[in-house]
Amino acid sequence: MDSEPSSTSRRQAGQARDAVTGVRRFILASLLILLCGACDQGTKWLAQTHLPRHAPISFAGDLVRLQYAENPGAFLSLGASLPERWRFVIFTGGVALVLAVLTVYLLFFASLRPVPLIALSLVSGGGLSNLYDRIVYGGHVIDFLNVGIGPLRTGIFNVADMAIMAGTLLFLFSSRGRPQQSR
């Protein structure tokens, strides 16, 4: 009888060690989602209470501008010109459904390595915070950040948008280049 574990069982044991499962997954994802939402909502509160409504404030030689805006569309105002009914269906109803599925998957079913778990938690946290804005502010999201050099500038965005973009890029890069496991 061979006492050495097979390569399949060693690989499965390694995958089990590498994955964040159960209570750890729930705690890590929950903390990241809550922290992301708290940071975003806190900065939006500061923007609402301290930024002028029509004049941007410039920093670092105009590299960064703080400018209050209420965005009825998605990232960088995509879809802002859609009829209000369609914006509600897509940006509130559709996004709520996608985020509910993603968040339940993250908290209860995902067996992911730490980096993809962190990445998807950032996407969920940012998305949930922007969804909260849409519900509370009549379909609008509070934006206040703009960066660029001269005429080359981003649109106005917020901390939740940064979390969503960072999470998406982190997820894409974490899944790139890994060798496929043979079956």
Active-site residue list: 143, 161
Q: Where are the alpha helices (DSSP H) in 7-55?
A: 7-18, 22-50
Instruction: State the Cα–Cα distance between residues 164 and 37, nearest whole angstrom.
Output: 11
Contact 171, 116 (CB under 8 A): yes
Contact 144, 51 (CB under 8 A): yes
Instruction: State the Cα–Cα distance between residues 151 and 124, nearest whole angstrom.
Output: 32
Nearest-5° Cα angle at 18, 16 to 23: 70
Contact 119, 171 (CB under 8 A): yes
Instruction: State the Cα–Cα distance between residues 10 and 154, nearest whole angstrom.
Output: 48
- Both tokens assigned to 174: 């974490």
Tally Cβ neighbours within 10 Å of residue 36: 26
